[in-house]
Amino acid sequence: MDIVYKQNQNVFNYRVVAVWIEQDHILLHKQVEDSYWSLPGGRVAMGEASQESLKREMQEELGIDIHVKQLIMVNENFFPYKEWDFHEIGFYYKVKSTDRAIFQKDAFHGLEGDRLLYKWIPIENLSEVQVYPQEVKDMLAHQPNETMHIVSKK
């Protein structure tokens, strides 16, 4: 059971996020109908540690085994999406994988169908791409050595 709570028009969501950098590119994904990108990940399941949730999500979505390196950001994210007002707690982990087959130049769909589109974006081109939460761009530009805590309000 995912840790998500809905009441009226409000949603609380506990999410884990992969910050996956390969060859100066970062993996982003988006809902096909959306105009903006975000970092891939998913919801934490009840009774599951956040690192294990991230490994599970990447296996489910991409069929990839990852190594979770370190927690680099905790984000309290408040944002509207469709008819919902979200309050999301996100744990952002730096990850790696020995599977290089996933590194492609073109956008691609994951294992869960055509709903999500994935793409490796050159980090130097991130200023040209709409990414949410917007603080992700700052985090990637500075590559912190310690865990950051940010609050995002859109």
pLDDT at 78 over 90: yes
Taking only the tens place, the pLDDT of each residue in 81-99 is: 889 999 999 999 999 998 8
pLDDT at 104 over 90: no
pLDDT of 138 reads: 82
Taking only the tens place, the pLDDT of each residue in 107-127 is: 999 998 899 999 999 999 998
Residue owning tokens 């988006």 = 30
β-bridge mates for residue 37, sequence order: 131
Q: Which domains does the chain have, with CATH numbers?
A: 4-153 (3.90.79.10)
Q: Please check whether residue 69 is in contact with residue 96, taking contact to mean a CB–CB distance below 8 angstroms.
A: yes
pLDDT at 143 over 90: no
Angle at 47 between CA 79 and CA 44, to 5 degrees: 30
